[in-house]
A = this chain, B = another copy of it.
């Protein structure tokens, strides 16, 4: 594609989809030529709710990029989580809020990251820095992304800057944050429509550390027991994935968004990466107060593995 394209990570969540749309809007205005928002996977129910609410189109699905394609990455940087062909693309810009890992370029680039709760918090800043006016639709999408990533500002990843940004965006979008936010989050908890195979892929991050490959997947719900009714079949699919991808560990985190707790199904040769910290009984680890993969589960696994 001749145009510059923007995309978030594979298994896109609301931040990855909304930030791609918003960044494309901002960059189109800044560069004076159309920048195309893209996505690397299916859109989940929560994100669909947000896009519909604010009347936004789904970004274009892409699977790989051609050699030399100019790309902007939002909400991720690791090559294991991005589009196929990235090694031969021209990475122009990255806007992110994750650690940097499995990432490299051969040329200098624009890279802006901060340890905040959501990519959209940084995009809000970039509109201001570039003196570009934020339209209500874009404000609504950024708001949805922040609500999603911070579970309505309750996740430990939330910073003051996220909270302040939400206030500003709510004014522009003219939205009652609590009411809209809970509605949006609940829309994402309808897991019945997914097969177990789909469930474990819905929001799965694959991580490689030296020779060890593992996946931490996460789903949101209003009832953990409801999801655990399907435990046997979920485990079957997880085991298939472990074999197919040569994983050392598969952690499937089920997060109760109302009470801010999680339980995880833990399988693989390296369950010790979890069991060193949380007791595992019948493959399940109960994790009180845990809602954040990035801030709570990933550092734990990294330390123990």
**Which residues in A have some Cβ–Cβ distance to B below 8 Å?**
97-115, 129, 294, 299, 302
Contacts and interface: CB of A to CB of B under 8 A. Distances in A.
Copies in the complex: 2
A302 B106 CA distance: 8
Nearest to A112: B112
A100 B104 CA distance: 5
Contacts of A129: 129
25 contacts: A98-B108, A99-B104, A99-B106, A99-B107, A100-B100, A100-B104, A100-B105, A100-B109, A100-B111, A101-B104, A101-B106, A102-B104, A103-B104, A107-B115, A107-B299, A108-B113, A108-B114, A108-B294, A110-B113, A110-B114, A110-B115, A111-B111, A111-B112, A111-B113, A112-B113
Contacts of A294: 108
Contacts of A104: 99-103
A101 B113 CA distance: 16
A299 B107 CA distance: 8
A102 B106 CA distance: 11
A105 B101 contact: yes
Contacts of A103: 100, 103-104
A109 B105 contact: no
A113 B99 CA distance: 15
A96 to B, nearest CB: 8
